[in-house]
Amino acid sequence: MTSPIRLDKRVSALLQCSRAQARQYIEGGWISVDGVVVETPQTMVTTEVVTLAAEASAEAAEPATLLLNKPAGARAADLPALLVEGNRFADDASDIRLLRRHFQRLDALMPLDDGASGLVVFTQDWRVRRHLLEAGPTLEQEYMVDVSGEPTPWAMPKLTQGLVYRNRALPGCKVSWQSEQRLRFAIKDVQPGQLPWMCSQVGLQAGQVRRLRIGQVGLSKMPEGQWRYLPVGQRF
């Protein structure tokens, strides 16, 4: 009877490579066990058929960054459950191979209020994390806000500069009407509850708040509840 051994040890013997290289093949999603991709080097195998994908690369898999279109009303704690294979945007143009490991150890960045919808970021990449933590307040964000009510005189100049929110003078921003019931904000360093409060200061009641863009990265036509990869080389 064949004794079980770790998959990385089997792959190392099969390919005549180091255990470290075998782990990279496995973690990169290039190894199948009886036709099923297995990404965990510690998986125990016996007589199963272990194969290497023809296009395999021994380079370490790059950490992933996922862009989610958050549904309105979804709480932060609910969002990881949406990051599953079945919710990947069908028109994701990143050409990144989906790996199970891409859903592990994700940091949530640039959060939204529970009632808001739109673009949020999850990443495994320390470079993306550091950039958004350090440069996030300087990145322009684009929002659409549905409003009702009659704006006060000089509403637009007041929205674009001069408001003070929670003892903080708000930086200047760009605001324009998209329709009679919708405002577009191009704004930096948005704090929780800020956009509805800004609208209230000029006689408007904010309804749906939707973030369309962070820096140079936008939602595109991705439906709510779906996600896509940040393409390699694209920057916020």
Confirm whether 5-52 and 140-214 share one CATH topology: no
Name, in order, each residue with C-beta under 8 angstroms of 38's C-beta and a sequence gap of 6 or more: 7, 26, 31, 32
Residue 1 in this model has a pLDDT that exceeds 80: no
Domains of the chain by residue range: 5-52, 65-136+217-229, 140-214
Location of structure tokens 């996600």: 227
Which band of pLDDT confidence, cut at 50, 70 and 90, is reported for residue 157?
Answer: very high
Q: Which superfamily, per CATH, for 5-52?
A: RNA-binding S4 domain (3.10.290.10)
Amino acid 129 reads: R
pLDDT digits (tens, 9 = 90+) for 184-231: 999 999 999 999 999 999 999 999 999 999 999 999 899 999 999 999
Interval 150-155 mean pLDDT: 91
- Note the pLDDT tens digit of each residue in 25-48: 887 778 878 878 887 788 888 888
C-alpha distance from residue 117 to each of 59, 74, 148, 178, 229 (Å): 37, 8, 18, 18, 18
Report the half-sphere exposure of 137 (CA within 13 A, side-chain side).
4
Fold of 65-136+217-229: Alpha-Beta Plaits (3.30.70)
Query: Is pLDDT of 113 > 80?
Result: yes
Query: Model confidence over 76-90: pLDDT tens digits?
Result: 999 999 999 999 999
CATH superfamily of 140-214: Alpha-L RNA-binding motif (3.30.70.1560)
What was the pLDDT predicted at 32? 78
